[in-house]
Structure formats: structure tokens, C-alpha cells
Amino acid sequence: MSNEQRHARQVVAEGVSAWERDDFKTALDTFQGVLEEYPHFADVQNKTGLCLAMLGRLEEALEHFDNALGFNSSYAEAHLNRGIVLNDLGRFDEAQAAFDRAGEIDMRDSPAFPSEVGNRLAVTHAQLGDLYLVADHPVDAIEHYGAALSIRPRFMDIRSKFAETLIELGELDRAKRELELILEGRPSFVGARVRLGVVHYRLGEEDEATKQWRRCLEDDPRDMRARAYLASVDGGSAEG
């Protein structure tokens, strides 16, 4: 995880703290600030939607839940939150479809846990992982991200954090497997593909690294990270 991403996660933790104090406006401002730099953080899109919903801005909340699902279609909690907002808007058929989808994902991922309980357990473990990263304890963060994924293996935003932390610890082969798993289900997840390129580069697989970064630009020509890494190949370094 880069210093910028670590800082972003620290800011997210501050937003969560404001949310827990019922200071929804401060939490909203915090999460929106993170999204300006990292719009692909599905969990932050979901948190932003929750803040907007609590402030009565339901249509805007719905947009953020949709954004979260655009980055992670198997994000059961976002489906659930989307269903609640749709129900409040009187769009009952769509709400029921969202609730059904959340339940389907939940039972597919972990039949041992009912939807809400399983989601909360997974998210709580992930939040603890975030806090351990902020405290510079990546080994403990790995433990909690792994626990979250044992309950909700298809929460790809958590798997992405898991992979980032493995990279930070130098466990490149494990990180590569996690990133490849993400991309099997979500080949358009540009952030995961950028990091996979970095892993390949650090493993001495320069051709594969450049292949991944070029694929990133095919998916999103505006992605400056992939452009920077491709340019860095000539300079002989690729950090991330």
C-alpha cells in the first residue's frame, strides 16, 4: 500500500469515527474527500451512501450504492442498503429485488451466517484491519482481512485490501494469487490490475507487468497510474 493509500485509509477511519458519533455531515464530508482521489473504493461509496441516506438525501444515496455495486456487484451490504433506500422511495418492486439479491449473495458466500450478521462480521473484521494498518501493524491487519474473507469471500474490496497488505509485507506470490482471483471475477477492476502489474514487476516479470498496465489503459485510458508505471519501466523502477 502506498503512503497515499495508507493516508486515505486513515481518513476513512476518521469518517467511521464520525459516523459512530452520529455526526453524519462530518462523516459525509470525510468520505467524499476520499472519493475525490479514490472513487473505486467500493466500501467508501457505500459509506457515503449511508451518510446521505441518514441526512435524507435518498436519491443521492442511491447513486453511491449504485457506484459501489458498479465496482463490486457482489457487495451484499450495498445491495441491502440500496433496497432500504428504494423502499423508502416507494419503489417497492426494485427494493424487493435488491433484498433478494443481497440474500442470494449471502447464502452463496457463507450459509452459516444470516445476511445482516454475516455482513456486519465481515465489515467489522475489515475495519479492524484498516485500523491495524493505520497503526502500522500489517500482520494483524492480514489476520482480520483473512477473517473477513472467510465469511464473505466475494467482498472484492476487502480482498483488494488484503492483497495490498500482502504486497506491503513482501508476500508477492500470495498477493499475485489474490489479485488474479479478483480479476477472474471482475476483469475491469483497474486498480487490482495496476497492482498486479506492480507485483509482476517486483517479481522480475517485466513483460507480464507491462502487459497488465497496457490492459489497464485499454479499460481506462485516463488511468494515470498505469501510464506512470509504464513510463517508469524505462527508468528501471516501479513502486506502489
Domains and CATH numbers, the chain: 1-169 (1.25.40.10), 172-240 (1.25.40.10)
Other C-beta atoms closer than 10 Å to the C-beta of 150 total 13
Distance linking the first and last C-alpha atoms of the chain: 6
Angstrom distances, CA of residue 47 to CA of 136, 150, 206, 221, 233: 24, 22, 37, 28, 37
Closest to 73 measured CA to CA, from 49, 46, 93: 46
Measure the CA–CA gap between 10 and 132, rounded to whole angstroms: 10
Answer for the pair 68, 43: CB distance below 8 angstroms, yes or no: yes
At CB < 8 A and 24+ separation, what contacts does 88-93 make? 88/53, 88/58, 89/58, 89/59, 89/62
From first to last of its 240 residues, the chain has per-residue pLDDT tens of 566 777 787 888 899 888 888 899 999 999 999 999 889 899 999 999 999 999 999 999 999 999 999 998 888 889 989 998 998 899 999 998 998 888 777 666 666 666 667 777 888 888 889 989 888 999 999 999 999 998 888 888 899 999 999 999 999 999 999 999 999 988 888 889 999 999 999 999 999 999 999 999 998 888 888 899 999 886 655 555
